[in-house]
Amino acid sequence: MDVYTIQLAKHRLCVPLEIPIIDITAKSGIPQFAPTMPDVVALKQGKMEWDAYVDIYIKKLRNTWMYHRHQWDMVLSMPCVAVACYCSYGKNCHRYVWVDVLKKVASARGIAVNYIGDITEETKR
């Protein structure tokens, strides 16, 4: 499967590319794929380090694999997907962590993940 990441503000770029978006933001995303709002706030306020935030988020995604596997199965059934968050490109963002975890769960199912990168105005299919 082909996997992209995208800043939610650029979601319109996915329309001509015919790439479905999965929102993993704490605000409006699929809850089992999103970080919690208190953790997002703590990170933004500098009360939590990025590494600790990632640890908590990976634990949450593992929990999703254990108890809400249909969410991963829904993603793994898609030939192409873009995972979206608000963060600007070039910054620490949990969408890249999500892609790393997707690669692991996909390999458990024998599915190869081809991560292509952030979608920009130059992205072609």
Give residues in contact with Zn ion (CB under 5 A): 85, 87, 93
DSSP classification of residue 12: G
Shortest Å, Cβ 42 to Zn ion: 14
Q: Which is nearer to Zn ion, 88 or 114 (CB)?
A: 88
User: Of 25, 23, 5, 12, which Cα lies nearest the Cα of 121?
Assistant: 12
Shortest Å, Cβ 110 to Zn ion: 29
Q: Which is nearer to Zn ion, 33 or 72 (CB)?
A: 33
Shortest Å, Cβ 86 to Zn ion: 6
Residue environment code for 71-84, b if the CB has 16+ CB neighbours within 10 A, otherwise e: bbeebbeeebbbbb
Q: Which is nearer to Zn ion, 87 or 116 (CB)?
A: 87
Shortest Å, Cβ 98 to Zn ion: 9
Residue environment code for 7-32, b if the CB has 16+ CB neighbours within 10 A, otherwise e: bbebeebbeeeebebbbbbbeebeeb
Q: Which is nearer to Zn ion, 93 or 105 (CB)?
A: 93
